Amino acid sequence: MAAPRAVLLLSGKRKSGKDFVAEELRSRLGPDVCTVLRLSGPLKEQYAKDHGLDFQRLLDASAYKEMYRQDMIHWGEEKRRADPGFFCRTAVEGAAQPVWV
């Protein structure tokens, strides 16, 4: 992992367009220059591993994900309390592009 030259953080409510803006930036800058890093992916992947769940189904907008949403939020908060950088370190593994979104 190389240190990035720029890091752009997007925040907002659910369904506010964060993913759309991130993908638009990556599309315009190019995948060799820009990578989109998401904290929700590593969180959901670890939650799925720890709880024996289907990681791919936790990524989509399904009733399956909604069934686990509240517990996943609580679990993620506890994980961050114990190790504040856990999900960030996981998200940036292998990122080599100079711009991170």
Q: Per-residue pLDDT tens for 4-23?
A: 999 999 999 988 999 999 99
pLDDT of residue 22: 95
Spatial CA neighbour of 53 closest among 62, 64, 63: 64
| CATH architecture for the domain at 18-100 | 3-Layer(aba) Sandwich (3.40)
User: Residue 1 — pLDDT band, cuts 50, 70, 90?
Assistant: low
Q: Kindly tell me if the per-residue pLDDT of 95 is higher than 80.
A: yes
Q: What is the SS3 assignment for 79?
A: helix
Mean pLDDT score, 49-64:
91
Residue 93 · residue 42 · CB < 8 Å: no
In the sheet that holds 99-100, the strands lie side by side as: 6-7, 99-100, 34-35
Q: Which two tokens stand for residue 72?
A: 């996943």
Spatial distance between the Cα atoms of 34 and 27, rounded to a whole number of angstroms: 8
Using 50, 70 and 90 to split pLDDT, how confident is the model at 24? Answer: very high
